[in-house]
């Protein structure tokens, strides 16, 4: 069975090019030219990956991503847009996107990222452990609830994924490249600082109101989650 990809793109020429290229690479494609139709197609079909523009008629790409995440928290989402600033990327990741490509892009790069995301999706197996802990930090992998002590901490999907990766690698220095590849499934873009922004988001939620700080910066190397500093 061929993987099914939903393309949501209001520029018909771009949508047709994507559909042709992906079909030639062995994917089954569904195409919508606005966010409302994209959501309907997602709800009524089995979709393995979503490619969505940000600026769409009806429901925009950010809102579409959020609605898709409510239906399926794990389906990979790639956002395509002409907007390439750090804030734009943060908005996309906050909405639940897994990856972000700025137009114009090389189709080979898009295809490579699709393969990485689908490989991750197909290899995803329910974790043997249902909880992971470090110091007074507790993460329930089933409910995705995060606590420090008895305090429940609300995290966005990307903040949660970043925290899980850091806890799973506690007391190890993690580089920005490591985070980019393991959490965002992409190559680190030295021209943006979104990883540092997300580390700061986590610090505010995980450390700010607690005496013992867990997230630390190793200058020139990356970050480390430890209670020993």
**CA distances (Å), origin 142, targets 70, 139, 146, 220:** 15, 9, 11, 35
What architecture is domain 131-225? Answer: Orthogonal Bundle (1.10)
CA dihedral of residues 214, 218, 223, 224 (deg, nearest 10): -40
Contacts of residue 33, defined as CB under 8 A and 6 or more positions apart, other chains included, come to 8, 9, 10, 12, 15, 57
* pLDDT per residue of the chain (229 residues) written in tens, 0 to 9: 678 999 999 999 999 999 999 999 999 999 999 999 999 999 999 999 999 999 899 899 999 999 999 898 889 999 988 776 566 677 778 788 888 888 888 899 999 999 989 887 665 544 456 889 999 999 998 888 999 999 999 998 889 999 999 999 999 999 998 888 888 766 656 556 888 999 999 999 999 999 999 999 999 899 999 999 8
Q: Does domain 4-123 have CATH number 3.10.20.30?
A: no
For 69, phi and psi rounded to 5 degrees?
A: -65, -30
pTM of this prediction? 0.60
**Residue 87 falls in which region: left (phi positive, over 0), alpha (psi -120 to 50) or beta:** alpha
Hey, where are the domains in the chain?
4-123, 131-225
């Amino acid at each position: 069975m061929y993987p099914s990809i939903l393309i949501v793109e209001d520029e018909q020429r771009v949508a047709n090019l994507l559909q042709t290229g992906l079909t030639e690479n062995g994917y089954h494609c569904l195409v919508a030219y606005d966010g409302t139709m994209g959501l309907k197609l997602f709800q009524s079909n089995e979709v393995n990956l979503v490619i969505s523009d940000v600026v769409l008629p009806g429901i925009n790409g950010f809102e579409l991503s959020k609605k898709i995440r409510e239906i399926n928290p794990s389906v990979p989402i790639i956002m395509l847009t002409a907007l390439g600033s750090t804030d734009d990327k943060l908005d996309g990741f906050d909405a639940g996107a897994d990856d972000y490509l700025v137009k114009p892009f090389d189709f080979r790069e898009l295809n490579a990222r699709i393969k990485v995301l689908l490989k991750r999706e197909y290899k995803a197996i329910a974790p043997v452990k249902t909880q992971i802990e470090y110091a007074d930090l507790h993460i329930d992998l089933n409910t995705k609830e995060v606590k420090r002590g008895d305090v429940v901490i609300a995290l966005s999907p990307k903040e949660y994924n970043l925290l899980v990766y850091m806890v799973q690698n506690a007391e190890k220095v993690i580089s920005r490249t490591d985070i980019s590849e393991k959490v965002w499934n992409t190559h680190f873009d030295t021209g943006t600082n979104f990883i540092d922004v997300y580390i700061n988001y986590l610090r505010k939620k995980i450390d700010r109101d607690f005496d013992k700080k867990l997230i630390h910066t190793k200058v020139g190397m990356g970050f480390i989650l430890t209670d020993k500093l």
